[in-house]
Structure 1
Amino acid sequence: MPMPPKPIEMISELIARPSISSTSVQWNQPNLGVIELLHSWLEGLGFSCEVMQVPGEPGKANLIATLGQGPGGLVLSGHTDTVPCDPELWKSDPFKVVERDQKLYGLGTCDMKGFLALAVEAAKTYKDTPLKAPLIILATADEESSMSGAKALVDAGRPKARVAVIGEPTGLKPIRMHKGMMMEAVRIEGQSGHSSDPSLGANALEAMHSVMGELLTIRQELQANYRNSSFKIDVPTMNFGCIHGGDNPNRICGQCEMEFDLRPLPGMSMDGLRNMISERLHPIEAKHRVELNVRSLFPGIPPFEQSETEFVSVVEKLTGHKAQAVAFGTEAPFLQQMGMETLVLGPGSINQAHQPDEYLALDQLAPTLDLLHNLINRYCVEGC
């Protein structure tokens, strides 16, 4: 098998294979092109590769590539998908890497195909090195939409290792905590009728007014009862994102739906929050003579916290940064469910992610490779 090309060439080839994931059918794409490319490179380095199809998701797959055998070891993990983009807002083609101002521009350069390429580059050094514990490079599907790839891994119970690094763009600062993310919808079915006689119907918009008031009360209670000073915004947040209802000013509103997101702190249960919200909103049905349904728009991302273990101390020493907390969600809680100590740590900035003209600065490449070599030496070559 041929050896993988140089890092910038690898990044360019990965970016050139579109792999958008989205809840909207018109945007959603397979990720197999990226998986096949990584598969060929890693197999060429002597990795044992397993392509895991994601159940119920045609054209979507994870890649588990393993060098070495035995318990313990290190997982270097990255998602293969990107968010959708509008090419008209870019200065260059988002699917072609362009270098300017000492930056690599392209969709997924920092979030996070760049990290996957650098993980492969770091692995080249160990092609013929005896390892006391395995090095596993993990590439996942659909992190940007459903987390179906990470959930498939949890269901399968693999991979297994001692520690894991997820290379999301953190400016090479370790992250050991993040909030969860829930996206919920409340739908109210009332009864339409002529607005001149309110008794002819049941106004879904008025019922939704009560729902919003109760949710604001719940938000206030949650923020009074839960706080974590590690986060810049140290309380759980709730945002009312969109609302749709009714069709005419002189008609009693028969239907209304609102969508909101809730960001719980570590230690808060998503199932507990959903049950509490449903119980608190249920009495509104009888009061307004409507039918009320609360549903989840997707299963959600659990909040994540990695305790301050020796692994965290090692990474803090290697990076020169104390482990931090962030508000955005990752696959970390899913890898943690499989028994791995997990940190989020990678090149680039989250400020560039999900934006036109996304880029990865060239000065991030060498420090990332140096960090990965140190981690592989410690947890795979030495088997600590």
Structure 2
Amino acid sequence: MLDRSIDILGDLIAFPTVSIDSNLDLIKYLSDRFEALGARCSLTADNSGTKANLFATLGPDLPGGVMLSGHTDVVPVADQDWTTDPFELTRRDGKLFGRGTCDMKGFIAANLALAETLDASALKQPLHFAFTYDEETGCLGAQSLIRDLAQRGIVPDIAIVGEPTEMRVIEGHKGCYEYTARFAGLEGHGSAPDAGVNAAEYAARYVAKLLELRENLKARTPVTSKFDPPWSTINIGRISGGVAHNVIVGKAEVDWEMRPVQASDADFVKGALTDYVDGTLVPEMKSVHPKASIELEIIAEVAGLEPMDDNAARDLVAKLTGANGADLVAFGTEAGLFQQLGSNTIVCGPGSIREAHKSDEYLEIEQLELCCRMLRRLGETLVN
């Protein structure tokens, strides 16, 4: 199974599925192979029709089952100093080099290799495979997929998301909410600031409110939180605006994010911010210039994976891998979305997140072998 996984990985790496580009060729490759194995396959496309999710099922047409999930998109290679061709698999020193080997086509390759070894008629419960688009740009594909699954009444009992965790069992991570706030004021000469609406000044006050809320979040820390830090966080990513020292700024932007440890924290921040914007900032701006505005664009609102006392996915994968416990991680995944769907969900996959998104990204062959071992044991479990 390991050798077959490496062969498949070579095929997958050759598809340059950078998030800004189409993934349809890769999805067709996977769909053709799963259909040849007798899988029931369905696609959900994005609005452009250039990207799609693949959902494939082997085994009986019954509720529940186990789902293996991975995203097909990769981050760009532009402006990175690669010593190998990023879209050609290179094997060297016990490592597999190429864009997406670690994050996370290695897991997808092992999924297909597993499917090729199974007698689907012998499965006692369904085995689902979910391969998504645009995880790297807001988990857009997974959000579309879970809407489709919910409408069809498909809720796997267990979901295993194969992001690179060095095959550690991960039972929790924070959510990731990303926004861009745009401020439209009124330009004018800097010598008469009261005659204009300085978008940069209102952006600064907006940021100050975010920093105040960031401190407030510490007091909301759940007593049972296992995260580091244990509270929800807010980060200011970018502030821009203005053209010259002596010009009142007409337009400004603020990029920011929060990483909530609980959904109620996100509601708290958004509610307080809306009250401040609608009740204070915008009325002040409009009193000078009626067309002034503050608009908030939601880039992504991806739920975190909340640790659960009872988690059948954690218990199953711990048994399959021999793990003695489960951990938390700082990076986000699609796992929280599947948890919201109603599935017991964990994250466990080959490779290290430290190698993801870098030049000369690689996956250690030993890690892929451990993944194959886990999946083989999963297959044995599903037929007994």
How far apart are the structure 1 equivalents of 2:146 and 2:338?
7
2:367 to 364, 368, 374: 364
How far apart are the structure 2 equivalents of 1:57 and 1:327?
32
Once the two structures are TM-superposed, the CA of residue 186 in structure 1 deviates from its matched residue by 2.2
Query: What percent identity do the matched residue pairs reach?
Result: 37
Contact 2:159 2:313 in 1 (8 A): no
Residue of structure 1 equivalent to 2:255: 259
Once the two structures are TM-superposed, the CA of residue 55 in structure 1 deviates from its matched residue by 3.8
- Name the SS for the 2:147 alignment partner: helix
Q: 1:313 to 1:34 in 2, by over 3 A?
A: same
Q: 1:214 to 1:338 in 2, by over 3 A?
A: closer
- Name the SS for the 1:268 alignment partner: helix
1:326 equivalenced with 2:326 (yes/no): no
How far apart are the structure 1 equivalents of 2:180 and 2:313?
39
How far apart are the structure 2 equivalents of 1:142 and 1:197?
47
Residue of structure 1 equivalent to 2:212: 217
Residue of structure 2 equivalent to 1:97: 89
1:245 equivalenced with 2:247 (yes/no): no
Q: 1:211 to 1:16 in 2, by over 3 A?
A: same
Contact 1:4 1:10 in 2 (8 A): no
Contact 2:173 2:330 in 1 (8 A): yes
Residue of structure 1 equivalent to 2:51: 60
1:14 to 7, 12, 16: 12
Residue of structure 2 equivalent to 1:119: 111
Q: Which moved more, 1:108-117 or 1:220-229?
A: 220-229
Give ranges in structure 2 of 5+ residues lacking alignment.
Answer: none
How far apart are the structure 2 equivalents of 1:337 and 1:85?
33
Residue of structure 2 equivalent to 1:297: 298
1:48 equivalenced with 2:40 (yes/no): yes
Contact 2:44 2:145 in 1 (8 A): no
How far apart are the structure 2 equivalents of 1:127 and 1:44?
13
Once the two structures are TM-superposed, the CA of residue 31 in structure 1 deviates from its matched residue by 0.7
Residue of structure 2 equivalent to 1:25: none
1:284 to 281, 285, 310: 281
Give ranges in structure 1 of 5+ residues lacking alignment.
Answer: 22-27
How far apart are the structure 2 equivalents of 1:110 and 1:260?
28
Letter in 1 for 2:281: I
How far apart are the structure 1 equivalents of 2:59 and 2:9?
25
Letter in 1 for 2:16: P
Residue of structure 1 equivalent to 2:269: 273
Once the two structures are TM-superposed, the CA of residue 88 in structure 1 deviates from its matched residue by 4.8
Q: Which moved more, 1:293-302 or 1:29-38?
A: 293-302
Contact 1:4 1:41 in 2 (8 A): no
How far apart are the structure 2 equivalents of 1:116 and 1:137?
9
Contact 1:73 1:161 in 2 (8 A): yes
Deviation per CA, 1:307-348: give whole Å up to 9, x if none: 132432232243314212122221112222332111111000
Q: Which moved more, 1:206-215 or 1:352-361?
A: 206-215
Count of aligned pairs:
372
- Name the SS for the 1:185 alignment partner: strand
Q: 1:299 to 1:234 in 2, by over 3 A?
A: same
- Name the SS for the 1:53 alignment partner: strand
Once the two structures are TM-superposed, the CA of residue 123 in structure 1 deviates from its matched residue by 2.2
Contact 1:46 1:127 in 2 (8 A): no
Once the two structures are TM-superposed, the CA of residue 58 in structure 1 deviates from its matched residue by 1.5
How far apart are the structure 1 equivalents of 2:120 and 2:283?
71
- Name the SS for the 2:258 alignment partner: strand
Once the two structures are TM-superposed, the CA of residue 48 in structure 1 deviates from its matched residue by 2.4
Deviation per CA, 1:169-218: give whole Å up to 9, x if none: 01111111111111122222222222222232222222222222111111
How far apart are the structure 2 equivalents of 1:103 and 1:4?
13
Once the two structures are TM-superposed, the CA of residue 4 in structure 1 deviates from its matched residue by 12
TM-score w.r.t. length of structure 2: 0.90
Contact 1:4 1:44 in 2 (8 A): no
TM-score w.r.t. length of structure 1: 0.90
Residue of structure 2 equivalent to 1:184: 179
